[in-house]
């Protein structure tokens, strides 16, 4: 390198001399080049451009027209010389530049020979190195690599052998499935098909000889599906159609057996079973319906038992899946920890200078070889399918996945777990299956209810159900409600079809029930003469039971009731009510409404509306007959007496007394959202009070007209007492006699206070007309005597002794 450096110094001149020479030469060349037009120096110079061509060769110099040929020729020559000069300048500059670099060119040629020498030496050294490497490879590596190739060949042979064993096993799938199907081993056959399909998709994918096996297995699955459905249907039919009891037939024969036991039905004349069934009377038909409901109940219990087995299996599988997932999560966590420790070990071994293959051979390959040898020694005559756990990891191509598969394959039963994971239903599908089993139970319940509805409707065609009395319909309603409740307890859901049919019949029953009683009440009112009636003992017992808090019709007593005599009044919680016969029957009718609500709770709201209508009808009709004097034409009464009015008022008061009791009875059986219907009772109570007040006003008005008639003729003269006052006292005594035994003492006193106020008003008016004043004169004395006679007679009446008459108000106040 030093010699080369010295040689380069001799070739190249000193830097200062070179710089000065180069600067001088550069200045001269620059001056010469400035003579050349700039257009020739442009990088985009091209003569095919018209503007460039015209600038370099102006055509005006070549124009020979007009006798200027000599001058143009001279110009052309001058242009040619100019261009030649420019060319010379450029060539000189180029030659100068080449001369300046001539030494470098010669130096490059000299270096070329040296490079050739270096390359020759290098080639010889490479040849020697290759010979040495070939000797090393032959001595140290060739044997080891041959061993590795043999090991790889052996592994490939093992894979081929295992693959052939697996193919042999798969080849036996169809015969094995046929054998399993012959013994109805559907689960084993499906598991085998699923395992084979998995092997075909993963391990034997692309094998030409098995190209049709997948579709054949799918057809086998469909066949097994049909066989399972057929066998399950056969089992279901045989289970559900077997005798429901030890001594009874299946469900379809129930009606036929019942009808055949009735001797009155001629089956030769009445051919249709429905027509034969319609000929049954209510007890016979009711027994038949009870028998049908019991069979339906047993049928549903049997269906539920079968479905419960299916449901329990589904739930157990779901529970097993949950536990399996938990175990897999724990296993994955352990594997992740093991992988982390393995990575740390490999990094340490590489850092220490060991080979990775040595690390794997110590940590994994040796245990695998031991496990493989032990498995081979333990089961040398195992079936071909037992090699699946070995063939699966060895058939993988990725090394990392192979190691994971190997680690999992040594686990006993790993293949079974993997197969089950693929074959089993997902949790979502299992959930749907569990829901479907419950829906099947719901469907069975709905079918039973629909069949029961058809049975009811077939009997209702001739109006049979509409003609049932209260006792019969209540029995039917209770039977149907009990069946609905029992099926709801079995299935966990209420079916609505039978309930709807019952509600429809109940509405018809309520309408007929109400119309019958309203018609009965109307007939009673139209024949009522509004006279006080005796109270039979059974009606007294009726109101006594209500006082005990039991709103229901009491049971008839056989002996004791006949010996008891009727009472004159009805005693209710210590108060005596003089009533007419219609009101006694109305009380009984009201209790029938209340008892019907207890027996048929579904008609509570309808019954409340109908009862309200009945109470309103009684109020309005009694008002028309008594206050409106309609009884004169309807019954033929001569006149409406004060006794009739007082008796009507007392009957209304009895109904008002029971309205809160009736309201509480219905309120206890209504839903909270239905409480608004109770306002009907408030309106009825107000109407009854208004009616009672109108009767009281009518009684006062009767006496008011009497006072007006008598006192208008009153004259202040002897004798004392006057005839007018004797007549007034007589009429007051008659009024008292008519109402005292009918109305309570408090009401009688309040009524006579109102009558006395009317009397004082008319007397005051007449005295003012006669100009009689409280002056102590003779006329004043006569009036005072008459008033004293009136007061004495009025206070002498029973219950009016303490009545404050305040007769001083009859006199005009002094101005």
- What are the pLDDT digits (tens) for 122-169? 999 999 999 999 999 888 888 888 999 999 999 999 999 998 998 898
Query: What pLDDT is attached to residue 420?
Result: 46
Which of these, 457, 614, 593, lies nearest to 524 by C-alpha position? Answer: 614
Please list the helix, strand and coil fractions of the chain in percent, rounded to the nearest 5, in that order.
75, 0, 20
Which helix (H) or strand (E) segment holds residue 783: the answer is helix 778-795
Q: How far apart are CA 316 and CA 320, in angstroms?
A: 6
Q: Which of 10-19, 567-576, 627-636 comes out lowest in average pLDDT?
A: 10-19
Q: Which residue has the higher pLDDT, 629 or 25?
A: 629
Instruction: Outline where 461-469 has alpha helix (H).
Output: none
Which residue(s) pair with 284 in the sheet? none
- Helix 723-739 to helix 642-667 angle (10° resolution) is 30
- What token pair was written down for 448? 């039973």
Cα 157 to chain centroid, rounded:
62
Query: What pLDDT is attached to residue 515?
Result: 93
Highest mean pLDDT of the ranges 36-45, 232-241, 561-570, 623-632: 623-632
Residue 223 has pLDDT above 80, yes or no: yes
pLDDT digits (tens, 9 = 90+) for 505-559: 888 889 999 999 999 999 999 999 999 999 998 888 888 888 766 677 766 655 4
Q: Hunting for tokens 């070939």 — which residue is that?
A: 134
Q: What is the gyration radius of the CA atoms in the chain, in angstroms?
A: 64
Highest mean pLDDT of the ranges 234-243, 351-360, 668-677: 668-677
DSSP E strand boundaries for 253-389:
none
pLDDT digits (tens, 9 = 90+) for 404-427: 333 333 333 333 333 344 446 677
Q: Hunting for tokens 């009510």 — which residue is that?
A: 577
Q: How far apart are CA 53 and CA 47, in angstroms?
A: 5
Q: How far apart are CA 24 and CA 18, in angstroms?
A: 10
Q: Hunting for tokens 């000189």 — which residue is that?
A: 92
Confidence of residue 1 (pLDDT cuts 50, 70, 90): low
Query: What pLDDT is attached to residue 415?
Result: 33
Q: Give the DSSP letter of residue 577.
A: E
428: left (phi over 0), alpha (psi -120 to 50) or beta: alpha
Residue 199 near residue 166, CB atoms below 8 Å: yes
Query: What pLDDT is attached to residue 681?
Result: 94
806: left (phi over 0), alpha (psi -120 to 50) or beta: left
Confidence of residue 750 (pLDDT cuts 50, 70, 90): very high
Largest CA distance in the chain: 191
Say how many C-beta atoms besides its own lie within 10 A of residue 622's C-beta.
Answer: 27
Q: How far apart are CA 276 and CA 267, in angstroms?
A: 7
Confidence of residue 380 (pLDDT cuts 50, 70, 90): very low
Residue 678 near residue 725, CB atoms below 8 Å: no
Q: What φ, ψ does residue 639 adopt, rounded to 5°?
A: -160, 160
Q: Which residue has the higher pLDDT, 709 or 317?
A: 709
Give the contacts of 191 (CB within 8 A, at least 6 positions apart).
419, 420, 423
Q: How far apart are CA 485 and CA 774, in angstroms?
A: 85
Residue 561 near residue 537, CB atoms below 8 Å: yes
Residue 205 has pLDDT above 80, yes or no: yes
Query: Residues 718-741: what's their mean pLDDT?
Result: 89
DSSP E strand boundaries for 336-492:
none
Calculate the alpha carbon distances from 547 to 115, 238, 541, 669 in Å.
138, 60, 10, 19
Q: Which of 374-383, 501-510, 687-696 comes out lowest in average pLDDT?
A: 374-383
Which of these, 703, 588, 569, lies nearest to 647 by C-alpha position? Answer: 569
What is the full DSSP assignment across 719-779? SSS-HHHHHHHHHHHHHHHHHTTTS-HHHHHHHHHHHHHHHHHHHHHHHHHHT--SSSSHH
Residue 17 has pLDDT above 70, yes or no: no
**Percentage of the chain lying above the pLDDT 70 cut:** 78
Residue 370 has pLDDT above 60, yes or no: no
């Amino acid at each position: 390198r030093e010699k080369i450096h010295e040689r380069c110094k001799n070739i190249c001149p000193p830097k200062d001399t070179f710089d000065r020479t180069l600067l001088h030469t550069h200045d001269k060349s620059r001056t010469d080049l400035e003579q050349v037009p700039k257009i020739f120096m442009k990088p985009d110079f091209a003569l095919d451009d018209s503007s460039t061509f015209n600038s370099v060769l102006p055509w005006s110099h070549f124009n020979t027209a007009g006798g200027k040929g000599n001058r143009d020729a001279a110009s052309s020559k001058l242009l040619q010389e100019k261009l030649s000069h420019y060319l010379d300048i450029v060539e000189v500059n180029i030659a100068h530049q080449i001369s300046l670099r001539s030494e470098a060119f010669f130096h490059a040629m000299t270096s070329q020979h040296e490079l050739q020498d270096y390359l020759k030496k290098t080639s010889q050294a490479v040849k020697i190195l290759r010979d040495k490497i070939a000797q090393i490879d032959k001595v140290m590596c060739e044997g080891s690599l041959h061993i590795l190739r043999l090991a790889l060949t052996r592994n490939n042979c093992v894979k081929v052998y295992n693959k052939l064993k697996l193919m042999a096993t798969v080849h036996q799938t169809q015969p094995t499935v046929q054998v399993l199907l012959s013994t109805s081993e559907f689960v084993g056959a499906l598991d085998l098909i699923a395992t084979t399909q998995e092997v075909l998709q993963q391990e034997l994918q692309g094998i030409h000889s098995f190209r049709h096996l997948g579709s054949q297995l799918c057809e086998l699955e469909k066949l097994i599906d049909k066989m399972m459905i057929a066998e399950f249907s056969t089992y279901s039919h045989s289970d559900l159609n077997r005798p429901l009891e030890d001594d009874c037939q299946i469900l379809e024969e129930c009606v036929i057996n019942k009808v055949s036991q009735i001797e009155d039905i001629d089956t030769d004349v009445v051919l249709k079973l429905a027509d034969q069934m319609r000929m049954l009377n209510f007890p016979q038909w009711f027994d038949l319906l009870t028998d049908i409901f019991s069979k339906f109940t047993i049928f549903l219990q049997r269906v539920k038992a079968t479905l419960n087995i299916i449901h329990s299996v589904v739930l157990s599988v779901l529970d097993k899946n949950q536990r399996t997932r938990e175990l897999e999560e724990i296993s994955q966590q352990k594997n992740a920890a093991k992988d982390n420790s393995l990575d740390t070990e490999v990094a340490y071994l590489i850092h220490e200078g060991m080979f990775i293959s040595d690390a794997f051979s110590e940590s994994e390959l040796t245990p695998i070889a031991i496990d493989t040898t032990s498995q081979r020694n333990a089961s040398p005559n195992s079936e071909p399918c037992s090699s699946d756990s070995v063939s699966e990891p060895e058939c993988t191509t990725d090394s990392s996945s192979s190691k994971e598969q190997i680690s999992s394959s040594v686990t006993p039963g790993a293949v079974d777990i993997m197969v089950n994971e693929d074959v089993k239903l997902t949790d979502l599908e299992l959930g749907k299956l569990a829901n479907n089993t419950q829906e099947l139970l719901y469907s069975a319940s709905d079918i039973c209810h629909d069949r029961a509805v058809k049975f009811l409707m077939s009997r209702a065609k001739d109006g049979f159900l509409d003609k049932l009395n209260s006792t019969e319909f209540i029995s039917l309603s209770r039977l149907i409600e009990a069946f609905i409740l029992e099926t709801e307890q079995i299935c966990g859901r209420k079916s609505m079809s039978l309930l709807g049919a019952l509600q429809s019949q109940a509405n018809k029953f309520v309408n007929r029930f109400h119309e019958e009683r309203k018609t009965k009440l109307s007939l009673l009112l139209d024949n009522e003469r509004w006279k006080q009636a005796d109270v039979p003992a059974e009606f007294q017992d009726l109101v006594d039971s209500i006082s005990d808090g039991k709103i229901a019709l009491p049971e008839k007593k056989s002996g004791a009731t006949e010996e008891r005599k009727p009472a004159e009044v009805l005693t209710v919680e210590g108060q005596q009510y003089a009533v007419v016969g219609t009101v006694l029957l109305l009380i009984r009718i009201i209790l029938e409404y209340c008892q019907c609500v207890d027996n048929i709770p579904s008609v509570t709201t309808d019954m409340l509306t109908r009862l309200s209508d009945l109470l309103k009808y009684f109020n309005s009709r009694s008002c028309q007959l008594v206050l409106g004097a309609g009884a004169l034409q309807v019954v033929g009464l001569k006149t409406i007496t004060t006794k009739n009015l007082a008796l009507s008022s007392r009957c209304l008061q009895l109904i008002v007394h029971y309205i809160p009791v009736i309201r509480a009875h219905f309120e206890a059986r209504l839903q909270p959202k239905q409480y608004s219907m109770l306002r009907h009772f408030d309106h009825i109570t107000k109407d009854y009070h208004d009616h009672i007040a109108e009767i009281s006003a009518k009684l006062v008005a009767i006496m008011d007209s009497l006072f007006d008639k008598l006192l208008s003729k009153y004259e202040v003269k002897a004798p004392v007492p006057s005839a007018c006052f004797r007549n007034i006292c007589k009429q007051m005594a008659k009024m008292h006699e008519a109402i005292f035994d009918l109305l309570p003492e408090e009401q009688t006193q309040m009524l006579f206070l109102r009558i006395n106020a009317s009397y004082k008003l008319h007397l005051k008016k007449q005295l003012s007309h006669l100009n009689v004043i409280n002056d102590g004169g003779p006329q004043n004395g006569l009036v005072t005597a008459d008033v004293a006679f009136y007061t004495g007679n009025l206070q002498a009446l029973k219950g009016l002794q303490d009545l404050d008459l305040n007769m001083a108000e009859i006199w005009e106040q002094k101005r």
